[in-house]
Amino acid sequence: MRSIRISIPEDMLRDIDLLIKIGHYNSRDEVIAKALNDLLSREFVRISRSRYVVKS
């Protein structure tokens, strides 16, 4: 797995930390990976239902 660096607004970071504090997730990495996975899944479902053309 590759490592990347991102910037997150402070209010989102507080929300992520709250999810960890109340026990829904174990780490920031886990929250962000889940969020990205959910986003990508939704986007690819949406794309598969449309006529999407890959731009070169």
Q: What pLDDT digit, counting tens, does each position of 23-43 carry? A: 999 999 999 999 999 999 999
For the chain, what is the radius of gyration of the CA atoms? Answer: 15
Residue 39, domain extent: 10-48
Number of domains in the chain: 1
Residue 36 lies in a domain: yes
Top pLDDT among 48 and 55 is at 48
- 8-28 pLDDT, tens digit per residue, is 999 999 999 999 999 999 999
Give pLDDT, residue 8: 96
* pLDDT above 80 for 51: no
Give pLDDT, residue 52: 64
Mean pLDDT within 42-47 = 88
* Buried/exposed code over 17-41 (b: 16+ C-beta within 10 A; e: otherwise): eeeeeeeebeeeeebeeeeeeeeee
